Structure 1
């Protein structure tokens, strides 16, 4: 255990195949993990239970809202194909998932973009003490930073947890898809996002022969007024900015 740089007493009950009953019960009383895997996650389930967590198994095809709210944190395991899980990460964040950990194998690390919406990254196969500490850190972050689900852009507040938008203190009624689009643009505010990327990450579509994005952008502009600019970047797509320049007409 010395190689982890932690005293043995910090890892007692974590590195054993079975943790002490009392320790498991105390931790399990607080931490429920939604585990999403492309394969049968037998190893992950066993390790999480040994660490005192309450894992709940989900498929990547399950409703992201159900996954996001079925645990204190979400652990997403990448199988052979990283791309489907990348899309799932964005859907989980739009669904209000507060703490998301991505698990990949060492050969997949270079395929992971730091711009993806996950809060921590861990390697497979798991090292139980490391996984335990990372899960606890996610728990501490969630407890100590309850406003992480609020994003302020000018006078607009986007509440990712409640899936609601307030403008100068007034609630703005948005459809689920309008909210998902606004939340995505808000996350990448200041950057130009192409229509193709928006269709892929917000709608889960591959085709770009559609006016869906443009129609929803027009509706957002009408509802948000002049408080927030959703600029048209010619030949690319759209960019969300706080109120500091004229909106393209």
Structure 2
């Protein structure tokens, strides 16, 4: 496995428990206790994934995630939060977290979530079938081999999950997908908070739609979920 995970938490007890469980699964783990140290560590040596506590003194997890997303949009981030309210979880997803686990948490569940996020991230390096390598809808393209999406020739800054969601929808246009189905097909979860899908759709619309409030590509299928409509004149 040999994946390197950066754990950012100001509670040494939590950090130590997470480290022990991850090391038992074969991960290499680095621990830091605040946001500035996390940013410095990532700048010095980019990890394969960041486990990021939301509530920290100084620079909190939300701001760290914002900065990481600007610099490394595809770096996987799993957020730890003691805030169980859905609105607080959504904020974490809005700034770019790939997943979140609410404290108190099961270390085994955290490991499973990390494994799921990393599986999606590392699978992106696999060589796709030639016919599926480039997905095109008008001026929107997604190169699944190089993990690059472009709109009007301009590269889009997408997170790992945003790219996965876009590629999935481009491969399956016109069909309505429920949030539960998208959570399964794109995230690989048979359970989980479906607001994860809602937030990622909203973020993706902001990046590919002319008017995110009146989307023309990713449409809401009322009572079901979402469907992708290709640009007229393209098949």
Q: TM-score, normalised by structure 2?
A: 0.49
The structure whose Rg is larger is: 1
